[in-house]
Structure 1
Amino acid sequence: MHVTLALPRELGPTELSRWRALQESDPTLDNPFLSPEFTITVGELRDVVRVAVIHDGPDIVGFFPFERHPLGIGKPVAAGLTDAQGLVCAKDVEIDALRLIKGCGLAVYEFDHLVSGQPMLKGRHERHPSPIIDLRDGHQRYTEWLRENSGKTYKSTLAKSRKLQRDLGTFRHDYATTELEPLRTLLGWKTDQYRRTGRTDRFAHQWIVELVERLLATRSETFAGVLDMIYVDDQPVAGHFGLRTSTTLAGWFPAYDTRFAKYSPGLIQHLAMTERAAESGIRIIDMGRGQKEYKDKLKNGEFEVAEGRVARFGAAAGVHWMMRVPARKTRATVLANPLLHKTADKALKTFGRLRAVVQG
């Protein structure tokens, strides 16, 4: 077994076809963040992206997309943005994680959303739930599940949707629209949300804005950007931008106009999106790791993702451990404790309000 390294744009039709075939052969890899189109698009904007092509004799048995940072630190493609990470490889292939990262010229590979069944998971890593909306039994069955298990939320959301329309006008739902202007409206809402809650504004980075715009324009049977928006009286109210394979829609950037907050527009939009997604062939909506109230209300299942690192012995790995691991463990402790999590979230929101006042 040997590894060759390539820039994403250097992969030819044979490699891309093999990548898609491997991905489609394993349900745990059915996520658009693991699709070649995602890696290629990020690679057009970031020169740190590489792909390790794994060979067993003459056969390609796997692909490992990653970013190479100074000191040989490896990260997932678009680290900090992606909710599914890891290798795309044949089920029966044996891959030694340390040999792989050595072949990639890495001292360390760190991850926080590694999907299940990965060779990287032979170590002791933290596991986290990743909530999903499971539509494999159809949208009607999911609706029945909501009535039985989240009835108050379901009924109140429908009531608020009716009130929204009575108060403001005709409801319109655009699923999988390709227009750029509503995307920019959505990103503006998201920026306001980041600032309001004290989080870092991802869209302050121009490459991320361009990435999302390019992904919106990418459409094929097995991969596409999906922009979903709801309107009332032709006013945009709430929306979501995510990515899809043929059967999985990955949640990514949901947001809404805070002027309509009393109507719970985010829940209205998600319920509408779920129905249209199911009609288009989507069987799983992966909402991604992270505790959010709307996820708890809508989920009817969970996947599992892992957080940790694979490291070779050496000075670079030691420096990386000191800089990252204690902070990661502290963060995990806070998130796992409801009281600490609530306190930290409140502090961030207070910071966001103060920042908004200072800026203006």
Structure 2
Amino acid sequence: MWYRTGPLAMKVNCVSPSDLSVDELSAWNAILRDVPAFRSPYLSPGWAKLVGRSRPDSTVVVFRKDDQPVGFLPVQRSTGHTALPLGGPICDYQSLIARDDVQLDARLALDELKVKRIDFTGLTDAHPCCAPHIKTQDLGMVVDVSNGWDAYVENRRAAGSSVLKRVRKKYKKMKAECTNVEFSAFTHNKDDFKTLMDWKRDQWRRTGSIDIMSKPWINQVISDSFDVSDNGFGGELFTLKADGQLVAALYALKLDKILHAWFVGYSRDYETYSPGLILFTETLKAMAESGYEQLDLGGGEYQFKQSLATQTRMAGPGFIGSSNLATYSRSLQYEVRSIVESLPLGCVRSWPAKAMRRMDIWRGMSESNSR
């Protein structure tokens, strides 16, 4: 199907992640390699193929110019009129993936997908065509260790952050009071991985959060990621142990020399030592020593993220839609949210945003039989 936008002629078609051609994979990986803003595991073909193995409705919209692939948009079906980010509630970042000088109109994907609207939960501004569709701007926290550990320590000192100093004291105290304290980087211990996942599910139950692993397809994606190795894409586990048991664990997705913190947990028996912070700082040191460049901590206004991060990344919820009732309904939701957030209503101001996020999680978890 051919669409024309001004002087441009684009061919847009949908492809299952498993059916991406060699040329399409090569073009996609070239964009990730050459454009730093796209260097995230969630924006890689490895992520698309990983999710595609567990969701039959996984789709990549491919944009072609002069019969060459120039843009990619990974999605999954939600309802008959809406598409969602590929990976739903376990995908932190989304974007239309193309070089800046490639002019694309993401709305061209709507007809090919046969949907009225494409919703996003963490749309980045990595491509100029995405920025206008971000309705609420959030920030992802990123730690840059590309210049080495000493340079990072100096960066935090110059920024006025004492987090590393505090953590060193906690770690020293832990080593003095516990036996066999050991940090392990880039490990693939399946028992530790399982313990971390059990911690997360217990945490969700205790806090009344949605247990996303209750969905078999999500559980499968997470499990498969631990063993996958696909053109620099995969998973890495970091652990902190003491007294012969696991104290804290961090599981991150990887794309070449970029890591994205995905799941982190710790034993509540050791929380007095701040084991999570110890784990993060030791992970960053190990990354710097191994030639890794960045650890993306994701979004969320958490103090520990702000104290560790050296830079931010723009990402936020939004949507792309044509002129129809489904688009108008979504626009109205964001307008109501904006109005409530501008009023002096205390904690009530956050209710619409929380309600929309919770609904997006449920929608992202749901499965569709459509292709």
User: Could you state the TM-score of these two structures normalised by the residue count of structure 2?
Assistant: 0.85
1:163 is the counterpart of 2:165: no
Counterparts of 1:291 and 1:158, CA distance in 2: 23
1:225 is the counterpart of 2:235: yes
| 2:347 maps to which of 321, 340, 343 | 340
1:242 is the counterpart of 2:249: no
Counterparts of 2:345 and 2:196, CA distance in 1: 30
1:214 aligns with 224
1:277 is the counterpart of 2:302: no
1:144-179 Cα distance to aligned partner (Å, 9 max, x none): 223344554322211111111221112222212122
| 1:79 maps to which of 88, 91, 95 | 88
Counterparts of 1:40 and 1:293, CA distance in 2: 34
Q: Using the TM superposition, give the Cα deviation of residue 260 of structure 1 relative to its aligned residue in structure 2, in angstroms.
A: 0.5
Q: Secondary structure at the match of 2:101?
A: coil
Residues 315 and 339 (structure 1), Cα distance of their counterparts in 2 relative to 1, 3 Å cut: closer
Q: Which has the higher helix share?
A: 1
2:320 aligns with 310
Q: Secondary structure at the match of 2:80?
A: helix
Counterparts of 1:207 and 1:327, CA distance in 2: 33
Residues 327 and 158 (structure 1), Cα distance of their counterparts in 2 relative to 1, 3 Å cut: farther
Partner AA of 1:312 in structure 2? S
Partner AA of 2:105 in structure 1? D
1:90-144 Cα distance to aligned partner (Å, 9 max, x none): 3311111222323332211111211223313234632211111111322211112
Counterparts of 1:296 and 1:284, CA distance in 2: 15
Residues 338 and 270 (structure 1), Cα distance of their counterparts in 2 relative to 1, 3 Å cut: farther
2:114 aligns with 105
Aligned residues: CA RMSD: 2.5
Partner AA of 1:228 in structure 2? F
Question: Would you say how many aligned residue pairs link Structure 1 and Structure 2?
Answer: 342
Q: Secondary structure at the match of 2:89?
A: coil
1:145 aligns with 155
Q: Does the CA-based 8 Å contact 2:138-2:315 persist in structure 1?
A: yes
Partner AA of 1:162 in structure 2? K
Partner AA of 2:93 in structure 1? A
2:64 aligns with 55
Structure 1: segments with no counterpart, 5+ residues = 345-360
1:198-255 Cα distance to aligned partner (Å, 9 max, x none): 2212222232222111111012552121111111133110011111111211111111
Q: Using the TM superposition, give the Cα deviation of residue 307 of structure 1 relative to its aligned residue in structure 2, in angstroms.
A: 2.0
Residues 17 and 343 (structure 1), Cα distance of their counterparts in 2 relative to 1, 3 Å cut: closer
User: Could you state the TM-score of these two structures normalised by the residue count of structure 1?
Assistant: 0.87
| 1:93 maps to which of 85, 102, 107 | 102
1:36 aligns with 45
| 2:35 maps to which of 26, 29, 40 | 26
Partner AA of 2:132 in structure 1? K
1:204 is the counterpart of 2:211: no
2:274 aligns with 264
1:357 aligns with none
1:114 is the counterpart of 2:123: yes
Q: Does the CA-based 8 Å contact 1:180-1:213 persist in structure 2?
A: no
Counterparts of 1:254 and 1:31, CA distance in 2: 18
Partner AA of 2:106 in structure 1? A
Counterparts of 2:344 and 2:147, CA distance in 1: 34
2:20 aligns with 11
- 5 Å matches for 1:180-199? 180-199=190-209
Q: Which runs of 4+ in 1 moved over 4 A?
A: 319-322, 326-331, 336-339, 341-344
Q: Using the TM superposition, give the Cα deviation of residue 19 of structure 1 relative to its aligned residue in structure 2, in angstroms.
A: 1.4
Q: Does the CA-based 8 Å contact 1:71-1:316 persist in structure 2?
A: no
Q: Secondary structure at the match of 1:281?
A: coil
Counterparts of 2:257 and 2:155, CA distance in 1: 20
Counterparts of 2:350 and 2:77, CA distance in 1: 35
Q: Using the TM superposition, give the Cα deviation of residue 51 of structure 1 relative to its aligned residue in structure 2, in angstroms.
A: 0.6
Residues 82 and 277 (structure 1), Cα distance of their counterparts in 2 relative to 1, 3 Å cut: same
